[in-house]
Amino acid sequence: MKDLKLKFVIFVLLSAMALSGMLVISVLASKEPYEVKKNITTVFIERGDTLWTIAQNYYTEENESMKSYIEEIKECNHLSSSQIKEGQNLIVPYYERIH
């Protein structure tokens, strides 16, 4: 009886591992390959805009983090602080996926 239970447990574990492996393979295979191109755009600052709100509009998963993306925008515009002014133009880098 113990032998039968052990075989059943092994069967269940192996089946679960096989199903998990197939799931991982199908998820990886379903992702379309794409190329990422880095672009820049100019954004005209309007009343109420902040670096955070502008970054939210262009942020993608290719960026390391929102904080590092804001730092990149600051670097592109030679800003030492996060303050921006209405009427100012900002250079904003962004990523585009090309399929």
In the chain, what are the domain boundaries? Answer: 1-31, 35-98
35-98 CATH pick, 3.30.1130.10, 3.10.350.10, 2.30.110.10, 3.40.50.2300: 3.10.350.10
φ and ψ at residue 41, rounded to 5 degrees: -140, 165
pLDDT of residue 30: 60
pLDDT of residue 6: 80
For the entire predicted model, the pTM comes to 0.64
Residues 6+ apart with CB under 8 A from 44: 87, 88, 89
Q: Which residue has the tokens 């960026």?
A: 63
pLDDT tens track for 20-77: 878 877 766 666 677 889 999 999 999 999 999 999 999 998 888 999 999 999 999 9
Q: CA 23, CA 36: separation in Å to the nearest integer?
A: 26
